[in-house]
Every structure is written in C-alpha cells, then in structure tokens.
C-alpha cells in the first residue's frame, strides 16, 4: 500500500506502509507529552530540592550544589544526552532519566536565589523568633512564596524537553521504531518530503502547538499561583 490522502477516512493521509498519520500522530503526541512531563517533574524535584538545601543550609552544601550547577551549565547538555544514550541505549527508562536531568540546574538556581531573598524578610525572622524550625519555615513560609517562579520555569522546561526529545528522536537516538513519537515521525518522514509532505508537517505542527499551549498555560498558572497577586 502506497501513500494516500483523503481516502477511506484517512483525513491527514497515510505513510508508505499505509498507516494513518493522524492516529500515529495522536499516539506520538501522548508519548511525547508523557516523557516530557515525567522529565520536567523529575527535574523540578531534583533541582528544587537541591536549590532549597543550598538556600537554607549555606556553607559547604551550597558551594557543592552550585558547583554542580555551574558544571551542568558549562557542558552542552545535548552532548551529555548523546553520551548517555550511546552508553546505555535508548529505552524508555533511559530516555526518562536523560530528560529528567535536563534543566534541573535552572530550578536549583531559581530556588536558591528566591530562598535567600525570602529568608531575609522580616516575617521569616519573626517565624524563627517564635521557635519555628528550618523544616517548618521551609514548608510553611518559603515554598508558598516560590511557587510562581517555579511554575514559570516548569512550563519553560516542559517546552524545552519536548524539543529535546523531538531532537533526539529526529536523530534516531530517542525512542526506537515501531514506537512513534512526534520527533521520530518527523525524522522518519523527512525522506518522503517530496512525495508525502504531510508525514512531516502533521507531527511538526503538533510540536509547535504543544510548546505554544504550554506557554499560555504557564502564564495562567503563574497568575493563579502567585500569592502576591491573589493578595491584591
């Protein structure tokens, strides 16, 4: 079966094997979003926790964590991802781990800066004077005040991880066939651009729509989560 368009209900055409591009794109969309969400959540937990420790503990702990952050920033992460995938393969577990460590340093830097700024405010001094311990202060007073920048960074990270996963899959280093992701569909369809451009255009448009929608959602969540905006 060759390429077909608008035949037998295939509104967005078929690939060279006669598979529905729309169905494969929707499946790839689900998998791409799932990988990106898991990666962004792992990065948030790792980077946020390390940033919180660095902001509250100071001293050698802060120096060690920020040194790791500087090292992560200094080395292009695409090279790190290529090395990890070359050594350990491109299974879903490895992909989730690779995407999870992408961008954790941004969370750490943001959380550390916000924590250091917040801990110098008068209400934190009052909480300490009333007997509040570091854990109580962190959970009750610090975390609610850093939700807004974390939400913004999460949406930015999610968009970047979608692009990263698509790039790795486009290069053939991501999720392997026959499992479809949007990036792998774009990479696979580039050889058929002259005869079947819809094989590339459909997943590519979905990637663009994902990143745009995530940014809009992030702006809305930021406004809802910012305690300072709600207090007005």
Tens digits of per-residue pLDDT, 62-120?
A: 889 889 888 888 888 888 888 888 888 778 888 888 888 888 888 999 888 888 888 77
- pLDDT band of residue 46 (cuts 50, 70, 90) is very high
pLDDT at 232: 52
Q: Which residues contact 190 (CB under 8 A, 6 or more apart)?
A: 200
pLDDT at 160: 86
pLDDT at 126: 78
Helices (H), 75-197: 77-88, 92-100, 104-118, 122-129, 134-137, 147-170, 182-189
Q: Taking the domains of the chain in order of start, what are their residue ranges?
A: 21-230
The alpha carbon torsion through 44, 105, 146, 160 (nearest 10 deg) reads -60
Backbone CA torsion sign across 95, 152, 109, 159: positive
- β-strand partners of 7: 10
Q: Which of 15-24, 128-137, 170-179, 210-219 has the lowest mean pLDDT?
A: 128-137
Residue 177, helix vs strand vs coil: coil
Q: How many CB atoms lie within 10 A of CB 143?
A: 17
pLDDT at 198: 79
pLDDT at 179: 77
pLDDT at 5: 53
pLDDT at 78: 81
Fold of 21-230: MetI-like fold (1.10.3720)
Mean of pLDDT values over 205-221: 83
pLDDT at 10: 65
- pLDDT band of residue 226 (cuts 50, 70, 90) is low
């Amino acid at each position: 079966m060759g390429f077909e368009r608008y035949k037998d209900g295939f509104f967005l055409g078929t690939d060279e094997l006669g598979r529905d591009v729309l169905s494969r794109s929707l499946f790839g969309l689900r998998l791409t979003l799932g990988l990106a969400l898991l990666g962004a959540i792992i990065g948030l937990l790792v980077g946020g926790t390390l940033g919180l420790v660095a902001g509250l503990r100071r001293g050698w702990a802060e120096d060690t964590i920020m040194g790791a952050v500087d090292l992560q920033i200094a080395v292009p992460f695409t090279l790190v991802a290529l090395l990890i995938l070359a050594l350990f393969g491109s299974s879903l577990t490895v992909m989730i781990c690779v995407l999870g460590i992408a961008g954790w340093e941004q969370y750490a830097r943001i959380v550390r800066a916000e924590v250091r700024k917040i801990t110098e405010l008068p209400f934190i001094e009052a909480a300490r004077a009333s007997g509040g311990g570091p854990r109580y202060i962190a959970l009750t007073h610090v975390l609610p005040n850093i939700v807004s920048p974390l939400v913004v960074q999460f949406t930015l990270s999610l968009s970047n991880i979608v692009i990263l996963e698509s790039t790795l899959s486009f290069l053939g280093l991501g999720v392997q066939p026959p499992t479809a992701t949007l990036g792998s569909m774009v990479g696979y369809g580039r050889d058929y651009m002259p005869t079947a451009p819809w094989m590339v255009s459909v997943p590519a448009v979905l990637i663009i729509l994902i990143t745009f929608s995530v940014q809009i959602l992030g702006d809305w969540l930021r406004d809802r989560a910012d305690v300072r905006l709600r207090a007005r």
